[in-house]
Amino acid sequence: MARKTGDIKFSKRGEALIGQEMFRLLDLSRNLEREGKHIYHLELGEPKNYKGAKNYPPGRVINKTIISLLNCDVGYTSSKGLPSLRQKLALYFSENFAKQIKTENIVISTANMLIYQVLDIICETNDRVILFTPAFPSYIASCRYIGATIHQVPLSIDDGFCLTKNNIDKAFSVKPKVIFVNSGNNPTGAVYDQETLKYLLEQAIEHDSWVVSDETYGMLSYQKEYFSMINLEYKKLVVISSFSKVFNIPGYRIGYAIADPIVIDKISLSSSTLYSSLPIFTQEGILDGISIIDNFAKDRKKYYKKLSNECMKILDKSNYLFYVRPESAFYLFIDIRKLKIDDKLFCSRLLEEYRTVVTPGTSFGYEGFIRASFCGNIDDVKKGLRQIVLFAKLLGGKENI
């Protein structure tokens, strides 16, 4: 049928938008809550600070944000980010890593946005991007949106979801334009070792590929010492990170990229085009937090390590669910393949029948798994995990009849 005048048709890019499944689930479950139903939230990587969960933001970050608001710092600042925050970060990184980081190597932006911004300034349509899967859904969403071709290199649960030289060789065999690395991995919690990451960078240099290293969870590595790619030298290396998880302030929407100044200038031009600048007051708050970031992260790691043990104990009661012990952050990537059920169907039934929200592995490019986040309300997390165990028992029991 011919289109009528006024019929809405979107652009190719518009049609390629998939968003983030977690936020769709959030909206869906909030609607159920408005109907008066209690929902166990294990879908978002959103550190919560009520009902037993001790994920408070640092007092000084909040206080300094408030002082800045009282001071009416409600104007614009540089598209590159608050100059004093960039300077402070340069100092912090230079002190903590093997190479000198200058202010001009740093741009402040929202970390999720940086994934898009970096991809978009590098890639033409159909350029090849490597994602080691399971991979954070925003990489997939951004690649689809800009029309890049995703080449998935699946990591194996048998390797503890760790990156291997074999995976890296496979990745470079397709001559990728960009390769994404995410140590302190979301959703698996895997932390990659120094030798592997150095090998990856050598290969990238040899193949002239860009490397985007998302290190959002790096500072929350509790089973292993974390190796940051900030230590390595390469013109086409972009390290992205965020203050959301380490400071329990995902709603601040502040992260940063570290790269060659030419890349930083280009990202900043993208920020200027897209959103002008970020708020001053949120950046002032974070600036004041940098001096305590190491100590704060230390506490967080202790907390999540203990909590991960408690969560694993709940899952251990199931004969149908498998996982790899997370080495960082607050996700459990749970193998439900023994239940022989589609992971999306598992998730929608889990919400409907067990009022528990988790994210399907498919959203991470990895079928047969689900991601449960344990940074929310602790009661919800534990009850939610028990609901998963119950549902698995029901499904597994049926299977066995």
* Residues 267-296 contacting a copy of itself, CB under 8 A: 268-270, 272-282
Total residues binding a copy of itself (CB under 8 A): 85
Q: Which stretch binds a copy of itself (CB under 8 A): 69-77, 165-173, 305-313, 315-323?
A: 69-77
Rg over alpha carbons for the chain, rounded to the nearest Å, is 21
Q: Select from 173, 161, 160 the least CA-distant residue to 130.
A: 173
Residue 183 and residue 277: Cα distance in Å, rounded? Answer: 29
Residue 331 and residue 10: Cα distance in Å, rounded? Answer: 36
Task: Decide if residue 36 touches a copy of itself (CB under 8 A).
Answer: no
Residue 100 and residue 365: Cα distance in Å, rounded? Answer: 36
Chosen residue from 57, 81, 176, 289 binding a copy of itself by CB under 8 A: 57
Shortest distance in whole angstroms from residue 401 CB to a copy of itself: 41
Q: Give the pairing of strands 255-258 and 237-242.
A: antiparallel
**322 sits in which H/E element:** none
Residues 143-162 that bind a copy of itself (CB under 8 A): 145-146
Chosen residue from 37, 51, 52, 83 binding a copy of itself by CB under 8 A: 83
Alpha carbon separation from 192 to 111, 189, 206, 327 (Å, rounded): 21, 10, 21, 10
Chosen residue from 95, 208, 400, 401 binding a copy of itself by CB under 8 A: 208
Task: Decide if residue 345 touches a copy of itself (CB under 8 A).
Answer: no
Chosen residue from 32, 54, 60, 62 binding a copy of itself by CB under 8 A: 62
Chosen residue from 37, 51, 52, 74 binding a copy of itself by CB under 8 A: 74
Task: Decide if residue 23 touches a copy of itself (CB under 8 A).
Answer: yes
Task: Decide if residue 20 touches a copy of itself (CB under 8 A).
Answer: yes
A 10 A CB-CB count for 2 gives: 4
From first CA to last CA, the distance across the chain in angstroms is: 50
DSSP code of residue 4? P
Task: Decide if residue 65 touches a copy of itself (CB under 8 A).
Answer: yes
Q: Give the pairing of strands 210-214 and 255-258.
A: unpaired
Task: Decide if residue 172 touches a copy of itself (CB under 8 A).
Answer: no
23 vs 291, which CB is nearer to a copy of itself? Answer: 23
Shortest distance in whole angstroms from residue 127 CB to a copy of itself: 8
* Under 8 Å between Cβ of 225 and 75: no
Task: Decide if residue 12 touches a copy of itself (CB under 8 A).
Answer: yes
Residues 92-151 that bind a copy of itself (CB under 8 A): 110, 112-113, 116, 120-124, 127, 138, 141-142, 145-146
Report the SS3 class of residue 323.
coil
Residue 232 and residue 198: Cα distance in Å, rounded? Answer: 8
Q: Which stretch binds a copy of itself (CB under 8 A): 8-16, 160-168, 181-189, 347-355?
A: 8-16
Task: Decide if residue 315 touches a copy of itself (CB under 8 A).
Answer: no
Residue 314 and residue 120: Cα distance in Å, rounded? Answer: 42
134 vs 279, which CB is nearer to a copy of itself? Answer: 279
Report the SS3 class of residue 151.
strand
226 vs 236, which CB is nearer to a copy of itself? Answer: 236
20 vs 164, which CB is nearer to a copy of itself? Answer: 20
* Under 8 Å between Cβ of 177 and 210: yes
